[in-house]
Structure formats: structure tokens, C-alpha cells
Structure 1
Amino acid sequence: MATIKRLATVALSVSLLAGGAAALAPAASAASASTCTYNIADHNAVVGYNGVNYRTGPGTGYTSKGFLYSGDDLRIYCGKGDWYYSKLIYRSKSGLSAGTYGWIRKDMLVNLAG
């Protein structure tokens, strides 16, 4: 009986510790649309420069998913500061798949149209 209680206590402790660690760790989608502080009414945009990082979050501290090049088309959904959350409309010139979501600095775009 004491062994069962001890195992139950250990199991409870492990699950609480794991839950606490999960609560402290950022979610895989932590830098998604939920990070936005303002909405944009679904506008299309065109990348204006070559070798622009398409990032996992709104800042240079976030990982790059790859590069965008002049003429790549995006759908803009919302923003945070100087960054827009967007989706690639077509496959990028660097090979990123159509439908890839990411963040781009707004001054890297040359055309924003509704």
C-alpha cells in the first residue's frame, strides 16, 4: 500500500513539474497572429527588395524562415509595431511554399493594396 501511495505521489509530482515547464515555455505558435496589436483588413502586398528575411515573429530576434525577393506576393492580416503578419500567396522566388505564414518589416514592401 505504501508503494502505491509513493508511486502516486511521484506521478503527481512529475505531472505538475511537466505542466509547469510547459506553462513557462513559449508555444510553438507564440509568434502568430495572436501577437498582433492591430488588424489590417486583409490587404495584398508586394515585396520590394531582395533577400528580405521572412521571420517567425515580429522582430529581428526571431528566426528567419527564409528569404523573400522583389515581386513576391503576400497577404497581410495584422501587425505589431513596424512588422506585418502575412501569408505567401504564391511560392516565393527563394522556394518558400505558397501558404507559408510569417512576419515582414513593413518598410520592405512597396505596394499595400486592399
Structure 2
Amino acid sequence: MPALSVLRRTVPTVALAATAALTVGAAGSSAFAAAPTAASTRVAAANTCPTWTVMKNGVNFRTGPSTAYRSIGYLYKWDYGTKVAGRGSWVKLRLNERSKSGLKKGTTAWVHKKFVDQCVYMQY
């Protein structure tokens, strides 16, 4: 029972502190406006993960960054590679392992960005 009474005493204190912070924040305190939070810094950071994963089946893997270039084979869902270049809405990938269609590990070619997703680093 003593733990319950401690909880009852701390809950109103926490609620009061949160209300005070919201009131001060709403008033436009320069202390709150000037100090960026760590979370806002992380959100603003660019995604630098080099791995891109194919999210569709039968995607052409091309010799150049447009449909005017010939396809050297197909990529299927969950094939992936490391980005080595980019041009507009195209990404040049080097396959990290043998593709599902049989393209060798290390094969380099172009794929349209609408068929691939860039990985995202986990944040702790």
C-alpha cells in the first residue's frame, strides 16, 4: 500500500509540471525556441544508407539511366545492391549477392527509383 500512496502523490506533480511546460512553451519562451532537440536533429539528417532493395517483381536492370538502354536482366523482390551512382530518378546498383534471376554478385547496372527502396539505419 505505501507504493500506491507514493504514486498518488507523484502523478499530480508530473501533471502540474507538464502543464507548466506547455504554458511556458505556448507563451513563446525564447529558451524553448532556441534549443533544438536531439530528435529534430535526427529527423533533419539525410539518409546515407547505401543499400537499395527491389520491391517489385520483374524489374529491368539496364545498362544506362533510361528506358532507352537495353536490359541485362531482371531483378525480383528482395534482390538488393549498393548504390554506386545516381542520375535523376535512376540509381546505379552493384548487386551484393546473386540475384533471383541469376545475375552474378557484383553486376552493376541501373534501375528506376520507383521500383527500389533505400534502407534506413536504425536509431537507438
Q: Same fold (TM over 0.5)?
A: yes
- Contact 2:53–2:117 (CA<8 Å) still a contact in 1? yes
Structure 2 match to 1:100: 107
RMSD, matched Cα:
1.8
Structure 2 match to 1:89: 96
Please tell me the residue identity of whatever aligns with 1:86.
L
Unaligned ranges ≥5, structure 1: 1-39
CA distance in 2: counterparts of 1:85 and 1:54, whole angstroms: 9
- Contact 1:47–1:111 (CA<8 Å) still a contact in 2? no
Could you say which structure has the higher strand fraction? Answer: 1
Structure 2 match to 1:46: 53
Q: TM-score, normalised by structure 1?
A: 0.61
Could you say which structure has the higher helix fraction? Answer: 2
Unaligned ranges ≥5, structure 2: 1-46
| 2:77 counterpart (60, 70, 82) | 70
Residue 60 of structure 1: how far off its partner (Å): 0.2
- Contact 2:49–2:119 (CA<8 Å) still a contact in 1? no
- Contact 2:52–2:82 (CA<8 Å) still a contact in 1? yes
Residue 41 of structure 1: how far off its partner (Å): 5.5
Instruction: Name the SS for the 2:103 alignment partner.
Output: coil
Residue 77 of structure 1: how far off its partner (Å): 1.9
CA distance in 1: counterparts of 2:64 and 2:49, whole angstroms: 19
Q: TM-score, normalised by structure 2?
A: 0.56
The count of corresponding residues between Structure 1 and Structure 2 is 75
Cα pair distance change 1:113/1:76, threshold 3 Å: farther
1:110 lines up with 2:117 in the alignment? yes
- Contact 1:41–1:77 (CA<8 Å) still a contact in 2? no
Please tell me the residue identity of whatever aligns with 1:81.
G
- Contact 1:58–1:80 (CA<8 Å) still a contact in 2? yes
- Contact 1:42–1:77 (CA<8 Å) still a contact in 2? no
Larger radius of gyration: 2
- Contact 1:45–1:73 (CA<8 Å) still a contact in 2? yes
- Contact 1:83–1:105 (CA<8 Å) still a contact in 2? yes
Residue 83 of structure 1: how far off its partner (Å): 0.3
